[in-house]
Structure 1
Amino acid sequence: MSYDDGHGYGSREPGGRPDDAYSTLGGTRQTRTRLPDSEPGPPYGRRPVRGTRSLVTVVGVVVLLIGAIAFANRGSGDGAADKATGGSGTKSDSAASAPTAPTGTDPVTGKTGTIASGFAHDAQGAQSAAANYTVALGSDQMFDAKGRREITRAVYVPAVAAARLTDLDKVYTGEGFLASIGLKPDGTAPEGLTFISRSNPVGSKVEGYSGAEATVSVWYSALFGLAGEGSKNPVAEGWYTTTYTLSWSGGDWKVQDFTQKDGPTPVGRDQSASTAQEMADAVETFGGFTYAR
């Protein structure tokens, strides 16, 4: 239904006068009558033109609102709020999202290979571990035998790491799997193509927490495919949520188990896809992040 189809948006009958308070003059679409500001306009109709003073007032209110929101999201300074919520930025029984703002605690003090380690022993540290492990487990290194072994040993608890590595080796070296995604048997890309596999966490949420165990969900987008001329598997984007069961083991958070599901997936914008070379250049020149809060 267009604005001119129904009552209240102007009649189009020959010789008739529009009954809309904001009807037009001579086809110029100029306002015919200006109603008092106190009177509500039509739900989807044209609003009366407001003066400069009203515009300044509206802008001032918006600025104050943004400032108030920013102030409310700042840390307490003395860490009292963080201590009350286990460092997660939100109470454990609240479904509200926690802002990814500095909390005054640096949970990452070291690394294992290229993976961050030494996470804080609290809910904040568990979220940081889950986000960093999402990046590692979704990287192109998982398609290389040596890289897969190093990542698995770094992120999983020792009691399950060996069994998990065996399962992963079966998946990644399974008959036809690498060929189906356009890779060579050793997990590398064919000549002239660049293999891209990168996970980009958008946010994390603590589903449950105790000193010995934490359940954390990570929502992220993933880029996957082969960039280059003639690629039969061009780089595409997917959205997923992985929920990790983390255990405090050997002075750090480690993965005990996880589940994964699709989405939430946003509606794609009307943007032109980049060329294969632009995509290859981007992934080679833009490094990934170490996620910490």
Structure 2
Amino acid sequence: MSLSDEGGYGGDQRGSEPGQTRTRLPDGGGDLYGSGRRSRAGLSSRNLVTIVGVVVLLIAAIAFANRSGGGGTGDTASSDAPKGADAQPTAPTGTKPVTGKNGSIATGFAKTEQGAQSAAANYAVALVSPNILKLNERHSIVQKAFAPAKVDEMQRKLDGAYSAGFLKKLGLDVNGNAAKGLTYISRTVPVGTKLVKLAGDTANLEVWCTGLFGTAGAKSTAPVTSDWFTMHLQLKWANGDWKVDGFSQQDGPAPVNGDNKTSGADQIANAVKQYGGFTYAR
């Protein structure tokens, strides 16, 4: 699933809480955001239709949140981007990526290329977590992740995108919680980061991600599945740290699906509870 600052997922959504992870959210100018890994052949036509329907809903929510945003992603093709430079592998540098933590979100990113990439990876995880669907947690994420000048705007957009009607379509109550016996999952895993442009107090980056989303449980109508997407983030140096100034998301690049044996719904729910997600990378 994906998110953006312009209107919800598409821009996407995601958040982090014991037993839950990843939800697409809407960025200030873009979009918002089972059982085991399943091959497409193993899905019934009914489940496939349900999953497609959920994805469409998420994309629509993100578009709503981003449609009035000023963030945009036009700079991702900037002529100032490094020319002919190959992607740099993540490697130990001897420098600690961050110096602090604000709740579940890392803080204290260096004003360097590495610091900007670390911040982008961290924010990609936070913006597509299940907590983004919960009012209080969502406001907390916005306060911590966005540049001060963007906070009020993003809270309005995301609150509008994650309405009670939208949550109901995802099978969640008005507080963003799944029904008893079910676990809503939204977990994002950054696969790699790319610095598109770094100039003074601004940075544009792309984060290639994979992740899980859906509802785990015996009676789930939207089983957990995986997806691949790229988040575009515009960061701004504010109050001594990198903060999100705008974001959006697009599908892919996605590899060929493997033929892994699909796990049961309980196995997936338990795995999410037992294995904590990463809060930042690089």
Pick the aligned partner of 2:130 from 140, 160, 171.
140
What secondary structure sits across from 1:220 in the alignment? strand
1:219 correspondence with 2:208: yes
What secondary structure sits across from 2:153 in the alignment? helix
Deviations 1:23-64 (A, max 9, x none): xxxxxxxxxxxxxxxxxxxxxxxxxxxxxxxxxxxxxxxxxx
- Quote the residue 1:264 is aligned against: 253
What secondary structure sits across from 2:186 in the alignment? strand
- Quote the residue 1:195 is aligned against: 184
Calculate percent identity across the aligned residue pairs: 49
What secondary structure sits across from 1:170 in the alignment? helix
1:119 correspondence with 2:109: yes
Q: Is the 8 A contact 1:201 1:221 kept in 2?
A: yes
Cα offset, 1:161, TM superposition: 0.9
Deviations 1:151-173 (A, max 9, x none): 01111100011111110000111
1:230 correspondence with 2:216: no
Pick the aligned partner of 2:234 from 227, 236, 245.
245
- Quote the residue 2:89 is aligned against: 99
Cα offset, 1:94, TM superposition: 3.6
Q: State how 1:60-75 maps to structure 2 within 5 Å.
A: none
Q: Is the 8 A contact 2:190 2:281 kept in 1?
A: no
1:154 correspondence with 2:148: no
Amino acid across the alignment from 1:159: A
Cα distance change of structure 1 residues 94 and 150 upon mapping to structure 2, 3 Å threshold:
farther
Q: Is the 8 A contact 2:167 2:173 kept in 1?
A: yes
1:275 correspondence with 2:264: yes
Return the alpha-carbon distance in structure 2 between the equivalents of residues 213 and 94 of structure 1: 22
Which structure 1 segments of 5+ residues have no match?
A: 1-90
1:168 correspondence with 2:158: yes
Q: Is the 8 A contact 1:219 1:241 kept in 2?
A: yes
Return the alpha-carbon distance in structure 2 between the equivalents of residues 155 and 147 of structure 1: 12
Which structure 2 segments of 5+ residues have no match?
A: 1-80
Return the alpha-carbon distance in structure 1 between the equivalents of residues 108 and 98 of structure 2: 5
Q: Is the 8 A contact 2:178 2:184 kept in 1?
A: yes
Q: Is the 8 A contact 2:104 2:279 kept in 1?
A: no
Cα offset, 1:107, TM superposition: 2.4
Cα offset, 1:191, TM superposition: 0.4
Which portions of structure 1, spanning 4 or more consecutive aligned residues, are displaced by more than 6 angstroms?
none
How many residues align? The count is 202
Return the alpha-carbon distance in structure 1 between the equivalents of residues 240 and 83 of structure 2: 26
Cα offset, 1:118, TM superposition: 0.4
1:130 correspondence with 2:117: no
Q: Return the structure number with greater relative CO, CA threshold 8 A, min gap 6.
A: 2
Deviations 1:240-292 (A, max 9, x none): 10111111110000011112111001110111111000000000000011324
Deviations 1:207-229 (A, max 9, x none): 00123111110000121110010
